[in-house]
Each structure stands twice: as C-alpha cells, then as structure tokens.
Amino acid sequence: MSIYVSGSLAFDRIMTFPGNFQDHILMDKLHMINVSFMVDGMDERRGGCAGNIAYSLALLEEKPVIVAAAGRDFDSYAQTLAAHGLPLDGIRRADEVFTALCYITTDLNSNQITGFYPGAMSLPALYDFPALDPARDIAIVSPGNLDDMRRLPRFYREKGVPYIFDPGQQLPVLTAEELLDAIGGSLACITNDYELNMICKATGKSEEEIAASTRWLVTTLGAEGAQVRGNHGENVRIAPVPVARVLDP
C-alpha cells in the first residue's frame, strides 16, 4: 500500500518578541506604519502541511510519497526526510526559486505577525504516479499548490483512489465550485469547526449537506476533541486526550 501526501513543503522561522506589539504601534498612524521588533530568539523548523503529515506518518512506520514542489535550498530538508525512510521521487525540485518560507514573530500576549513567501509552492508537483494501485493506495490532499488541490481530487476519483481532502489555509482562495468538487466523492473531508463554517458560507450548503457529499466529515474541536460524521448516519464524538506533558517532536 502507498500513501500519497500532497501539500506544502516549507521552512518555518519562528521568532519571539519579549514585549507586546500594541506598545509599539501608534493607532492614529496605522496608515503609515513603520515598526521594527528586536526578537530574543529564532528557531528554524522544517514544516509545510505535506512535510508535517509525512513526518508524522513516518513516526508510525509508514513511508508516504510526498507530492509537492521544493526549491534550491531544500537539500537539508531532503536529507532529513530520507533519514526517516521517506521517498523523495514525488518532490519536484525547482532550482530557480527557494522553498516556501514562513516568518512568524510572536509577542508575550501570543499575538503573531506572519510573513509567508510561497516560493516553490507556486509550482504544481507534476508527479506522474507510476505505481498507482487503486485497490491498495490512499491519498491525502492538504493545503499547498492550488493547481494540485484542484486537480488531484479529480485525478484520484478518476483512478478510483480513496482520498482525504483537507483545504485548511487555502479555503479563502478556493471557489465554492472547487470546494464542492474536491469534497464530493472524497473518503473524508477534515476541517476544524471554524473552517467548516467557512465552507458552508462559501458554498451555501449546510453541514448536513457537506457531510452527505463525503464518506466521512471530520471536524476537530480543539480542546473539546473531534466530531466524526458519516454519510450513512454515523455520528461519533471523540473526546480529547489528556496531556501529561508536551514534547517537541
């Protein structure tokens, strides 16, 4: 069995500001804002939706194929993926751009200022799935290149491959027709409760209608757990798991 995971690959540069943004912003000068924040820490992490999902699956001893695009600075990330036994043949390497990069600065009140450079994420993956087996394989379409998010659900349906659709951060730029097309016929659609409300508002469909168009509608509820609804009437509430301690993976 193969698992195909499409979505973004990115570097996350996470910085902490030892103060509050609001103390350095003049509300009557927002039309000409010019501020600089001296941070006291910076950590670069390998991220992106496809990268995070594939890494987590590798910890469960799965070896998913990442279907995405990366840039000329991707070598260190590729080495880490290979060290976890993950194949690299589904990753398009584009030497003319950098890998997607996210700068996140957080203040003491957990307010965030984020800058995102899409880089290679602007390019479709172009993977041709040479060993696709509809009887055994499964796919995950997560936030990433928009062409891939539009194309791959249709491709998987045509090939008879069950797929999970997770629109996430790309919800605001997908049209109602594109959302309904990707959700319709999927094995599962996964969102949080806010994102599900966004889908309903954008498409004019109710939660029940969205649930009826996919086999499983999975809605994460933060500290309250998750709700799993099936198109055969199943409705299961999953309680949150108590956290004994938090570790950075």
Q: Is pLDDT at 15 greater than 90 in this prediction?
A: yes
Asked whether residue 225 is domain-assigned, the answer is no
Q: Is pLDDT at 102 greater than 80 in this prediction?
A: yes
Number of structural domains in the chain: 1
Q: CA triplet 152, 158, 160: central angle to 5 degrees?
A: 100
Asked whether residue 183 is domain-assigned, the answer is no
Domain that holds residue 57: 3-28+35-166
Asked whether residue 240 is domain-assigned, the answer is no
Asked whether residue 209 is domain-assigned, the answer is no
For 111-165, the pLDDT digits (tens) are 888 899 999 999 999 999 999 999 999 999 999 999 999 999 999 999 999 999 9
For 40-99, the pLDDT digits (tens) are 889 889 999 999 999 999 999 999 999 999 999 999 999 999 999 999 999 999 999 999
Instruction: Say if CB 179 and CB 202 are below 8 A apart.
Output: yes
| Euclidean distance between the first and the last CA atom of the chain, given in angstroms as a whole number | 26
Q: E strand or H helix at 58, and its extent?
A: helix 49-59
Asked whether residue 237 is domain-assigned, the answer is no
Q: What pLDDT score does 36 carry?
A: 84
Asked whether residue 40 is domain-assigned, the answer is yes
Q: Domain holding 50: CATH number? A: 3.40.1190.20
Beta bridge partners of 42: 15
pTM: 0.88
Q: Compute the average pLDDT of residues 228-246.
A: 90
Asked whether residue 133 is domain-assigned, the answer is yes
Asked whether residue 200 is domain-assigned, the answer is no
Q: What pLDDT score does 46 carry?
A: 94
> Closest by alpha carbon to 67, among 117, 137, 17?
137
Q: What pLDDT score does 70 carry?
A: 97
> Closest by alpha carbon to 88, among 119, 56, 65?
65
